[in-house]
């Protein structure tokens, strides 16, 4: 099974997408070569939800698979298919292209035209005896209707074999990241799926990288973040991720997965699809059989298999100065803290993910500035990781001198290695 989300394709008049369309086509060719029986796209097929964009998706699909019914299409819409149309329609702007050319202007007719299959808010498809359930954007928030649909198919879904559930937003409290953990966009999926230990949910929306080991969650069911084919992100809160920061935003790349399914487990191969290379070891995830059995991919359990990344003996911190921009875009004098990359034991579980960089006044430790910064290359596999890392401070942020510098490496489970120091900086 091919697993994608957030492909965000468009026609060139709306948004330049030729390179991303090419990656999508090459990905489909890769899936075809591997003999997939189904392809999941967990929402945000387009950038703006227009039919002109959706036709790019459909044409790319047909260029590889023709008009065949196989592989089975497990496609759901995301917010980018729905919200622009919905907003303009509610505002009464019925002449806007996102309305007149909108997928949702006549979703049933348009879906039939694009994919030659009937559209419904929720669907269930059977692939070689395994059930795939989908919930489209907006409809996934109707908990009562979604529960009724799941309950009506309980006979096909209940049992020891896995079934796969797809919606765009992460089910609540399953996928990592500060702004996604307690969010409401996931609707009632977590509550509904908790009655099915054998449920495996796939969701996108955040674009969060598959190089983060927390992409797989196990609790009352199993939930998996699907990253993005068009531009992978990392959670905010670091000096090189998000807006209003002093360092370049670390984002980019194209990620997706290939899944092999058995009755008792499924294996996820995770790829950088722009390079067609793996970004980490395969995840062999057991299918949960009961509400109280082992959960080897629960964050607490999985982290026990990891070790903290460590700096090599003799690693040193180097300070330099430069001119740069503060978060508001104003010129400022800056201090750059540079250091060698920490290393794990060579696997994805233990690779360095980010660093805590602290500047503390030597005379008053309460006077300090502490930042987090991602390891350069974290969006790729361990072999492509940079040999160095750095963190930028505005000189206006520095504590009273002399101050001490401390850098602590962490893996994606926030396990910390031994820090390195540079003391007595004036």
pLDDT in tens, 391-417: 999 999 999 999 999 999 999 999 999
Question: Both 260 and 145 in a single domain?
Answer: yes
CA distances from 24 to 47, 67, 223 (A): 14, 17, 24
Decide if 381 is inside a domain. yes
Q: Pairing mode, if any, of strands 265-272 and 283-286?
A: antiparallel
pLDDT attached to residue 299:
94
pLDDT greater than 90 at residue 170: yes
The residues, any chain, with a CB within 8 Å of residue 348's CB and separated by 6 or more, are 211, 213, 279, 280, 281, 381, 382
Kind and range of the H or E run holding 422: strand 420-425
Give the phi and the psi of residue 9 in degrees, each rounded to 5.
Answer: -80, 160
Confidence of residue 245 (pLDDT cuts 50, 70, 90): very high
Question: Both 235 and 382 in a single domain?
Answer: no
CA angle 16, 252, 336 (to 5 degrees): 130
In total, how many domains does the chain have?
Answer: 2
Instruction: Work out the mean pLDDT of the chain and round it to a whole number.
Output: 95
Is pTM beyond 0.85 here? yes
Tokens of residue 121, six digits: 């808010």
Question: Both 255 and 400 in a single domain?
Answer: no
Decide if 310 is inside a domain. no
Question: Both 337 and 197 in a single domain?
Answer: no
The residues, any chain, with a CB within 8 Å of residue 22's CB and separated by 6 or more, are none
Q: pLDDT tens, 370-399? A: 999 999 999 999 999 999 999 999 999 999
DSSP states along 219-246: SSSEEEE---SS-BB--SSBTTBSSS-S
Question: Both 192 and 327 in a single domain?
Answer: no
Decide if 411 is inside a domain. yes
Mean pLDDT value across residues 36-65: 97
**Residue scoring higher pLDDT (185 or 93):** 93
- Counting Cα atoms < 13 Å in the Cβ hemisphere of 194 gives 11
pLDDT attached to residue 187:
87
Question: Both 71 and 13 in a single domain?
Answer: yes
Question: Both 278 and 355 in a single domain?
Answer: no
pLDDT greater than 70 at residue 180: no
DSSP conformation class of 146: H
Decide if 103 is inside a domain. yes
Q: Which of 242, 205, 174 is nearest to 81 (CA)?
A: 205
pLDDT greater than 80 at residue 182: no
**CATH code where residue 346 lies:** 2.60.40.10
Percentage of the chain surpassing pLDDT 90?
Answer: 90
CA distances from 149 to 120, 134, 193, 200, 234 (A): 11, 10, 12, 17, 34
Strand extents, DSSP E, 247-317: 255-261, 265-272, 277-278, 283-286
Confidence of residue 175 (pLDDT cuts 50, 70, 90): confident
Q: pLDDT tens, 249-292? A: 999 889 999 999 999 999 999 999 999 999 999 999 999 999 88
Tokens of residue 187, six digits: 């609707």
Q: pLDDT tens, 109-142? A: 999 999 999 999 999 999 999 999 999 999 898 9
> Distance between terminal CA atoms of the chain?
58
Decide if 15 is inside a domain. yes
Q: Which of 396, 413, 404, 424 is nearest to 359 (CA)?
A: 404
Domain containing 213 equals 2-303
Kind and range of the H or E run holding 357: strand 354-361
Answer yes or no: are the C-beta atoms of 79 and 44 closer than 8 Å: yes
Question: Both 266 and 373 in a single domain?
Answer: no
């Amino acid at each position: 099974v091919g697993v994608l989300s957030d492909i965000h394709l468009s026609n060139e008049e709306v948004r330049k997408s030729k390179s991303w369309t090419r990656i999508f086509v090459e990905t489909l060719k890769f899936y075809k070569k591997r003999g997939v029986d189904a392809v999941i796209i967990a929402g945000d097929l387009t950038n703006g939800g227009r039919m002109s964009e959706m036709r790019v998706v459909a044409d790319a699909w047909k260029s590889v698979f023709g008009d065949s019914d196989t592989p089975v299409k497990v496609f759901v819409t995301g917010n980018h298919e729905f919200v622009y149309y919905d907003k303009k329609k509610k505002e009464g702007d019925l002449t806007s292209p996102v309305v007149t050319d909108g997928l949702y202007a006549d979703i049933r007719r348009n879906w039939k035209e694009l994919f030659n299959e009937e559209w419904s808010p929720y669907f269930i498809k059977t692939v070689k005896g395994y059930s795939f359930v989908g919930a489209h954007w907006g409809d996934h928030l109707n908990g009562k209707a979604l529960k009724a649909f799941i309950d009506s198919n309980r006979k096909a879904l209940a049992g020891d074999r896995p079934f796969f559930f797809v919606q765009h937003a992460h089910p609540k409290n399953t996928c990592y990241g500060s702004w996604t953990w307690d969010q409401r966009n996931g609707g009632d999926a977590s509550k509904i799926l908790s009655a099915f230990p054998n449920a495996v949910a796939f969701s996108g929306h955040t674009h969060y990288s598959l190089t983060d080991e927390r992409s797989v969650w196990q609790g009352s069911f199993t939930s998996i973040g699907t990253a993005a084919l068009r531009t992978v992100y990392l959670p905010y809160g670091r000096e090189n991720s998000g807006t209003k920061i002093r360092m370049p935003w670390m984002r980019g790349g194209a990620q997706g997965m290939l899944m092999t399914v058995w009755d008792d487990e499924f294996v996820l191969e995770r790829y950088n699809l722009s390079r067609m290379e793996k970004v980490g070891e395969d995840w062999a995830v057991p299918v949960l059989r009961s509400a109280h059995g082992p959960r080897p991919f629960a964050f607490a359990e999985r982290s026990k298999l990891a070790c903290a990344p460590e700096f090599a003996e003799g690693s040193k911190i180097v300070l330099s100065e430069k001119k740069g921009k503060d978060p508001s875009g104003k010129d400022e004098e800056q201090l750059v803290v540079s250091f060698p990359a920490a290393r794990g034991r060579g696997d994805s579980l233990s690779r360095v993910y980010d660093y805590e960089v602290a500047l503390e006044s030597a005379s008053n430790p309460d006077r300090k500035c502490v930042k987090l910064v991602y390891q350069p290359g974290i969006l790729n596999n361990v072999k492509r990781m940079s040999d160095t890392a750095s963190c930028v401070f505005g000189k206006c942020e520095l504590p009273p001198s002399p101050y001490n510098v401390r850098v602590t490496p962490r893996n994606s489970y926030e396990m910390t290695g031994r820090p390195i120091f540079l003391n007595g900086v004036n």
